[in-house]
Amino acid sequence: MGNRKPLGPIGRLLARAPRHLYRLGLGGLLGQRFVMVEHTGRVSGRPRETVLEVVRRDESSIDVAAAWGSRSDWVRNEVADPSVRVSSRRLRSAPATAGILDIGVATAVLGEYAKAHPTAANALGRVLGLDFTDPAEVASAVPVVRFTLD
């Protein structure tokens, strides 16, 4: 599973910065590589927002990797209630349905991502303690969530 460590205070601050850009209507500046997902807290029932890096997209869906695993709050929230809204460069709070991909599809998606963005994949692999040259290893530790646009 690798030697993944939680983000420290500065890391959390940097990770949350893109959310503020989306709130200001400037999320498009981040391009197509990021998406903001609006979801519902599974315990609180309150609205939540998370900005994630896109690993694959097409006209009907957006895939993201849950780098910190299936125990991430946003993943657990979307398993509890898969009805979400997504925003990116061309989408503004579009309704979508979240679902975790099976390991075979996730392996293919992560393999394509590593080929298309080798520098980003290698950097992410170092942070997570995973080897992106083996997409099956990554897919076994990092769930891939697909947001299918409604």
Q: Checking phi first, is residue 141 left (phi over 0); if not, alpha (psi -120 to 50) or beta?
A: alpha
| Residue in the block written with tokens 């298309």 | 116
d(CA 52, CA 64): 7
State the Cα angle at 36 between 33 and 42, rounded to 5°: 135
Residue pLDDT, tens place only, 71-124: 999 999 999 999 999 988 788 899 999 999 999 999 999 999 999 999 999 988
Tens digits of residue pLDDT in 122-140:
988 888 889 889 999 999 9
**What pTM was estimated for this model as a whole?**
0.83
- Model confidence pLDDT, tens digit, residues 3-46: 556 667 776 666 666 776 777 676 666 667 889 999 999 999 99
